[in-house]
Homo-oligomer: A and B are copies of this chain.
Amino acid sequence: MIILSRLADYGVIVATCLAADRERQATASAVAAATQLPRATVAKLLKALARAGLVSSTRGVAGGYRLARDPAAISLSEVVAAIDGNIGLTQCSVHVEDCARTNYCPTRPHWAAINNAVAKALAAIALEEMVTPYTFAPPGKGRFTPARREKIAEPGVTP
């Protein structure tokens, strides 16, 4: 089973990309190029992030996006929630109504606890932490090259 949707996953990547250098005003296409994700999708994600108030946008010819807040003040749960909606473990924690009909469940109270555990784990990590250990391109330096990316894409997975 996979917990967060691909869109949410991408959303974090996109947000992290913006967090990499907070000053720069990046266009959707620029972010798409940097992240190697399809432009249209990135645009969609940025829209969602903007609507959630996580990134600020400026329109027009010299427009673009940038983080609205300090990367240290944006948690992953916010990013995920901006795209996938609020986190709930089961259907009934999101839509309460239809629970009445299908199930009998003494189990439900426990879900809330687990729910919190997940939410907390996600809330405990800030965007800043996602970018720092690998130093994206801190001071005015070059962006990430696709080549470099391949190398660091390897590990992950197992703790």
Chain B residues with Cβ under 8 A from A62's Cβ?
A: none
User: What residue in chain B is nearest A111 (Cβ atoms)?
Assistant: B156
Among A13, A96, A99, A156, the most chain B Cβ lie within 10 Å of the Cβ of A156
- Number of this chain's copies in the complex: 2
Interface of A is mostly: helix
Q: Mark A120-141, 1 if CB is under 8 A from B, else 0.
A: 1111010001110111100000
Q: Which of A94-151 contact B (CB under 8 A)?
A: 94, 96-97, 99-100, 102-123, 125, 129-131, 133-136, 143-144, 146, 148-150
Contact A36 B115 (CB under 8 A): no
Chain B residues with Cβ under 8 A from A76's Cβ?
A: 114
Complex CA gap A64/B116 in Å reads 36
A136, chain B: closest CB distance, angstroms: 6
A135, chain B: closest CB distance, angstroms: 7
Stretch at the interface among A3-11, A21-29, A49-57: A3-11
